[in-house]
Amino acid sequence: MTSNREGDLAVWALMGAGMGVYWFFKGFRELKVKRTIQDIPTSRIATGAVGSLVEIKGAIVCEPDQLVPAPVSGFPCVFYSLEIQKLVRTKNSSYWKTIDWIYSDKGFRVDDGSGADALVYAEGAEIKRQGDPAEYRVNSRDLSSMPQGLLLVLTLNANKLRSFKLSGSSWWRSEEYRFLERCFYRGETLYILGNADSGIKVEKRRKLSFKNFLAARKMAETDPALRKKFDANRDGVLDPEELERAAKTVGEQLQPRDGRVEKPLPKTKMIFRKQDARTFIVSNMKEEQVVASLGWSSSLKIFGGPALAIAGMAYIAWFLRGAF
């Protein structure tokens, strides 16, 4: 009779075998992306060929009033991604599982000094950023204690979230959540690889709803950084006109888009956005660093994946012989 411990190990071995196969194929995909980066020369935005895979490098340009407050850190940025994870506990261990993503949908422009700029919608891109992401942890029984900026973003994007709910959990069970924030900032130099469309049409935000206006106004009233930013006369308080301007600016930056379109700025030559399974990388790392990162990652998966799969299947075979 096999022990419960051996049965648990068999389950883990089966999961490991599956993960090894997944890593193996993912490693080849990363190797292909690495070779693509090495084969494609960096293009100038003004003269690059649209309608194909293009590699560019340039600095983020953005007006100060177009910056978006990051949900965790509160820093003004041009774009943020918010990864929502839940702590999963098993009999012998625990791990963080990604359950949802939120992206600020406001596109940002990149200028390489060629006389034209590129408009980038980084939602769905493979984001490679140096440094650790900003992190916030909370128990589901205490969701109301979250930073107001994070709470507002979660509220405005509630209809997009598949697993995370602001309603919390039942009285008899609580969950642990972790929020990981990654941002890009004004003036930062980015490396971008993706399919470039011509700058004919871009997405436009829908009219600011009254509900979101009120939520943004409350945020401006209570957030010291926002009060300082929109306090034009520097008297320490937001008068009605300053408060309305703050609410409109913050609300429009956080509000989801609805798919309508408007003409872009004439200077915009390229538009980057996620398209099906095509390669789309946005990174503040240099091209050489991206290549090196993909190199060691792909090698680890290509060689380590099969080793993990073989070890898992070997244990399962041994377990089944003992069981029968």
Give pTM, 2 decimals: 0.66
Question: pLDDT value at position 99?
Answer: 94
Mean pLDDT of all residues in 193-221: 75
Nearest CA-CA partner of 184 in 77, 282, 273: 77
Tell how far CA 306 is from the center of its chain: 30
Mean pLDDT of all residues in 212-230: 80
d(CA 240, CA 238): 7
| Burial (CB count <10 Å: 0-12, 13-18, 19+), residue 216 | buried
Residue with more model confidence, 293 or 195: 195
Question: pLDDT value at position 150?
Answer: 93
Q: Is the pLDDT of residue 188 over 80?
A: yes
Residue with more model confidence, 36 or 6: 36
Residue with more model confidence, 79 or 92: 79
43-78 tens-digit pLDDT: 999 888 888 889 999 999 988 888 889 999 999 999
Residue with more model confidence, 4 or 244: 244
Mean pLDDT of all residues in 78-103: 89
Question: pLDDT value at position 1?
Answer: 43
Q: Is the pLDDT of residue 173 over 80?
A: no
Question: pLDDT value at position 6?
Answer: 65
Dihedral of the CA atoms 235, 237, 240, 244 (nearest 10)? 110
Q: Which two tokens stand for residue 31?
A: 């190797």
Reduce the DSSP state of residue 253 to 3 states and report it: helix
Question: pLDDT value at position 263?
Answer: 54
Characterize the bridge pairing of strands 68-69 and 117-120: unpaired
When pLDDT is cut at 50, 70 and 90, the band that residue 203 belongs to is low
Taking the domains of the chain in order of start, what are their residue ranges? 4-206+256-323, 207-255
Question: pLDDT value at position 5?
Answer: 66
Amino acid type, 149:
G
E strands present in the chain: 52-61, 68-69, 76-77, 79-89, 94-103, 108-111, 117-120, 126-128, 134-139, 176-184, 189-198, 202-205, 257-262, 268-272, 281-283
Question: pLDDT value at position 2?
Answer: 47
233-292 tens-digit pLDDT: 788 888 888 888 877 877 776 666 554 444 555 688 899 998 887 889 999 888 887 877
